[in-house]
Structure 1
Amino acid sequence: MTMPAEPHEETLTARQQAVLDAVLALMVEQGGELTMNAVARRASCSKESLYKWFGDRDGLLTATVRWQASKVRAGNYDRTRLDATALHDSLTRFASNWLGVISSPTSIALNRFAIARADTGGGKLGAIMLANGRFAIGDRLKPVLDAGREAGLIDFDDTETAFRSFIGLVGRDVQIRLLLGDRLALTQAEIARDAARATDQFLTLYGTATTVPEHHTANA
């Protein structure tokens, strides 16, 4: 089957977004195998529409992963006028969005689904999630880090290493605990606190001599 061009989150119609939300809801409720029939029933649309919009089951899963990952955004900033406050705000917003997404039931279900299929010949979903989840998110944050380096606010040799350091400070052990069934519940206030704290820690590690984090979080 010839696959249509995958819709980007910016070009998805409200109807297509509703379909992807239906896929996420099914994963949370049922896990396991997803069929186009089940998705069509849940989304109250025809299988023909699903094939037209997403190509096939892998195309539908790819769009679902991208839809979930699209919720992670860095803050707006002017690259030519980036200062310490704008950098801190952008990193904190990114950290808060990402931590909220990875700790959500939908992301937990997606990751469990991909892990379960990795050893059963269905590992393609893992590659889909890496390409459209983790790697795509890295592509969104790395320009912010590079802009901070160009502005003399942070200093590092390798952008990928700096990105991994930041993600590690933000995520800590939250994701693995949730995947293993820990009933960890993060409130919005806790997510905001942890995001700001991780950003301060990152700027302490990578900030230049003239960069001092302007927001200091409690050592909670």
Structure 2
Amino acid sequence: MEAAIETNDGEELTERQKDVLNAVLRLLVEEGDRLTMTAVARRASCSKETLYKWFGDRDGLLTATVRWQASKVRAGNYDRQHLDATALRASLEGFAANWLSVISSRTSIALNRVAISHAGSGEDNLGAIVLANGRIAIGERLKPLLEAGRDAGLLDFSDTETAFRTFFGLVGRDVQIRLLLGDRLELTDAEIGQDAADATRQFLALYRAKTGAA
């Protein structure tokens, strides 16, 4: 289930608005930090007035775009009240594979490169936007699964943030930094699936409860 993304007036995105955000992602791949509201309006076949109404200023548009991209990373569907070892493992592997697929996409690479280049430059708030609505938001999406695993007696940890950071590190390894630095790393679906399974196995080896069988 996708996380709900809202426009400037608090309404959930329509399909037309999602098309606009996809246009922003394509422009970021093509033009990098030269992205303008005028270019977005032209590519998305809408007026700048409409963009301002829906998303506010450029930062608002970028925020919605980051949230839209990050919403593609999901922890999957699981029954918190009846979570067992098999469902926990499957949900963790699904999240890992989902996240690896998203961060290795051309759109995510372009978005993160622009954010890094702007961080601390004062040009805009894209770095903070990506941090808050990307990595932090994704963490808040996965933490309930980790806590559900602990409540079910399958996982053992005292701090949810630490557990999440461990899993995040095991999944990402050096993949994202290599991609951002131009490594022509092309992950196949099979490789992503194997990496996700390996990261999950390593995480469970560290955090499996003594009485759990995950």
Short-chain TM bin: over 0.9
**Secondary structure of residue in 1 paired with 2:34:** coil
Deviations 1:21-58 (A, max 9, x none): 00000011111221100000111111111011101111
CA–CA separation in structure 2 for the residues paired with 1:4 and 1:169: 36
Aligned to 1:139: 140
Aligned to 2:197: 196
Aligned to 1:87: 88
CA–CA separation in structure 2 for the residues paired with 1:199 and 1:117: 33
1:53 lines up with 2:38 in the alignment? no
Give the letter for the 1:4 counterpart. N
- Cα deviation, residue 75, structure 1: 1.5
Kept in 2: contact 1:6–1:54 (CA 8 A): no
- Cα deviation, residue 72, structure 1: 0.4
Deviations 1:150-193 (A, max 9, x none): 11101011000000000000000000000000000001111111
CA–CA separation in structure 1 for the residues paired with 2:164 and 2:124: 25
**Secondary structure of residue in 2 paired with 1:181:** coil
Give the letter for the 1:185 counterpart. E
Aligned to 1:216: none
Task: Output aligned runs, 1:90-105, within 5 Å.
Answer: 90-105=91-106
Kept in 1: contact 2:109–2:180 (CA 8 A): yes
Give the letter for the 1:65 counterpart. V
Extract unaligned runs of 5+ from structure 2.
1-6
CA–CA separation in structure 1 for the residues paired with 2:191 and 2:8: 41
Aligned pair count reads 208
1:5 lines up with 2:26 in the alignment? no
Aligned to 2:3: none
Give the letter for the 1:148 counterpart. G
Give the letter for the 2:200 counterpart. T
CA–CA separation in structure 2 for the residues paired with 1:166 and 1:135: 14
- Cα deviation, residue 131, structure 1: 1.0
Q: What's the C-alpha RMSD, in Å, of the aligned pairs?
A: 1.3
Kept in 1: contact 2:150–2:156 (CA 8 A): yes
TM-score computed with the length of structure 2 as normaliser: 0.94
CA–CA separation in structure 1 for the residues paired with 2:171 and 2:124: 27
CA–CA separation in structure 2 for the residues paired with 1:199 and 1:107: 23
CA–CA separation in structure 2 for the residues paired with 1:199 and 1:207: 11
Q: Percent identity?
A: 73
CA–CA separation in structure 1 for the residues paired with 2:190 and 2:210: 31
**Secondary structure of residue in 2 paired with 1:32:** helix
- Cα deviation, residue 123, structure 1: 5.0
Kept in 2: contact 1:203–1:212 (CA 8 A): no
CA–CA separation in structure 1 for the residues paired with 2:133 and 2:88: 25
- Cα deviation, residue 6, structure 1: 4.9
Aligned to 1:157: 158
Aligned to 1:217: none
Task: Output aligned runs, 1:1-220, within 5 Å.
Answer: 4-7=8-11, 11-122=12-123, 124-213=125-214
CA–CA separation in structure 2 for the residues paired with 1:155 and 1:205: 9
**Secondary structure of residue in 1 paired with 2:35:** coil
CA–CA separation in structure 2 for the residues paired with 1:123 and 1:193: 38
Give the letter for the 2:45 counterpart. S
